Amino acid sequence: MCKKIVVALFMVFGLFSQSFAADKGPYEVVADTTQELVKVIEDARGYIDTDPQRFTNEVRRIMDEVVDFQSFARGIMGKYGSRGYYESLKTEAERAQFRERVIRFTDSFKDGLINTYSKGLLGFNGNRIEVLPLADDVDLSGSVGVRQDIYGERAKPYQVVYTLRQGSDGVWKLRNVIIEGLNLGRIYQNQFNAAVKQYNGDIDKVIANWTVAPQEVMEKTAE
């Protein structure tokens, strides 16, 4: 089952397009751009064998527009990316090192996701996708979860919940994903914490050796 869940996971990070407007709510963002993603995938089938980099570039463009990579990455870093930890640092040199590490990890995390999921997106085979409307009384002042059902071989759809938050510019951006009850941000945070132990607290080594390996991590979590 994990393999099928991962196929659904591949849908997550390619979900959104650049056609964003500040007046779109989280539901509209997900619902409108799901259709555009399907078209991008269908178009890629005509050139992927001869120009795979073109598709990767399309995925990068799409993800750059909607994923709040730095917030996502800082959440994965836990205390090492937190505001409280930053404010506890005594010298400007320490704070500069903190900022530089956040930037390096964000870039590594972003590149890993894009390279991994641009390949996985091609596994989508036209399954029916349904985005569920938000409740009338949903609180839009903080993070909002938008549920998406992906229908495949089994009778029960795979459930994906996208966590979005509105930025100061009014645009809703992706900050986390939950797939069949598995919290992707938490899974990656566990991976980061395990690496901190492996490298005896050397955060620079953790960042230098970071890899995106969702299938292995998810399978271990699901055991």
CA distance 134 to 139: 10
What residues make up the domain containing 110? Answer: 2-222
Asked if 19 and 31 count as a contact pair (C-beta separation under 8 A), the reply is no
**3-class DSSP state of 4:** helix
**3-class DSSP state of 166:** strand
Residue 5: the pLDDT is: 43
Residue 94: the pLDDT is: 97
- What dihedral angle (degrees, nearest 10) is formed by the CA atoms of 93, 98, 103, 107? 130
Residue 169: the pLDDT is: 87
Residue 73: the pLDDT is: 95
Residue 2: the pLDDT is: 45
CA distance 45 to 32: 22
Give the pTM. 0.80
Per the listing, tokens 């036209």 go with 126
| CATH code of the domain containing 50 | 3.10.450.710
Q: Residue 19 is encoded by which pair of tokens? A: 């056609």
Q: Which residues of the chain have pLDDT under 50?
A: 1-10, 12-19, 217-218, 220-223
Residue 214: the pLDDT is: 53
H-type helices in the chain, by residue range?
2-13, 26-44, 52-66, 69-77, 83-88, 92-120, 184-198, 203-208, 214-222
